[in-house]
């Protein structure tokens, strides 16, 4: 019980004071009891993230699918690599509003262009090892200096998607500090199940 209280207190300190988080008593479906929406900056301007207000809403289409052939669509481990923390939606929202952090959509460009989480940057898992300079590292492939690397969260299509885990392992091989990498394991599927805002991705 003490541990749970400490965790709740830590989350309050983490999320409570953030000015990008807004309360709205008119909203029935909120993110947290005290937060109805979150404003994040994107390349196209500010976007408000909130949950769909229709309490009868159900997801349909690709992200409603429960079963895919494994391999390649196998359930991913909770801990993708030693030292890399796995996070949920509240922690991801906090990172989206933190100017010193980045959220990376590690999916291929076609997936990102169709639909993505507002405020995330698309660096496909096939390219990330050569683009660490965009995350605060200096140098080039195989010779990266990542002592000033940013805190980054990576995601892909869901619990069964291997693109962000592959990207994380590539980053670690290149010397990116594990403690600055966060894995949003639920990805797009969990984001959509919760009815959170999505946008078309930029190319």
How much is the pLDDT for 18?
Answer: 42
CA distance 156 to 37: 23
pLDDT at 131 over 80: yes
pLDDT at 9 over 70: no
How many residues in the chain? 203
**Residue 203: band (very low, low, confident or very high) from pLDDT cuts 50, 70, 90:** low
**Residue 15: band (very low, low, confident or very high) from pLDDT cuts 50, 70, 90:** very low
Q: What are the tens digits of pLDDT across the range 62-85? A: 999 999 999 999 999 999 999 999
Q: What are the tens digits of pLDDT across the range 167-192? A: 999 999 999 999 999 999 999 999 99
pTM of structure: 0.88
- Tokens describing residue 191: 């984001």
- Tokens describing residue 146: 């990542």
Residues in contact with 55: Cβ distance below 8 Å, sequence separation at least 6, in sequence order:
28, 29
Q: What are the tens digits of pLDDT across the range 87-130? A: 999 999 999 999 999 999 999 999 999 999 999 999 999 999 99
* Phi, then psi, of 121 in degrees rounded to 5: -105, 135
Give all domains of the chain, ordered by start, each with its CATH number. 58-193 (3.40.250.10)
**Nearest residue to 93 via CA among 13, 153, 33:** 153
**Nearest residue to 146 via CA among 161, 154, 136:** 136
**Nearest residue to 81 via CA among 190, 180, 1:** 180
Q: What are the tens digits of pLDDT across the range 27-53? A: 999 999 999 999 999 988 999 999 999
How much is the pLDDT for 25?
Answer: 83
């Amino acid at each position: 019980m003490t541990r749970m209280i400490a965790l709740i207190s830590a989350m309050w300190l983490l999320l409570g004071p953030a000015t990008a988080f807004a309360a709205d008593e008119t909203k029935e479906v909120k993110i947290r009891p005290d937060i109805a929406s979150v404003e994040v900056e994107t390349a196209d301007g500010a976007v408000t993230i909130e949950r769909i207000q229709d309490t009868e809403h159900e997801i349909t289409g690709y992200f409603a699918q429960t079963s895919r052939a494994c391999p390649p669509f196998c359930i991913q481990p909770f801990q993708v690599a030693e030292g890399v923390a796995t996070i949920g939606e509240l922690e991801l929202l906090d990172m989206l509003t933190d100017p010193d952090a980045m959220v990376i959509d590690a999916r291929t460009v076609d997936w990102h262009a169709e639909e993505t989480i507002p405020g995330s940057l698309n660096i496909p898992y096939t390219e990330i090892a050569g683009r660490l300079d965009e995350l605060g590292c200096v140098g080039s492939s195989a010779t990266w200096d990542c002592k000033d690397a940013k805190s980054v969260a990576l995601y892909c299509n869901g619990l069964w998607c291997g693109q962000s885990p592959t990207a994380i392992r590539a980053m670690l091989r290149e010397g990116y500090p594990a403690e600055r990498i966060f894995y949003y394991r639920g990805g797009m599927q969990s984001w959509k199940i919760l009815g959170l805002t999505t946008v078309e991705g930029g190319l």
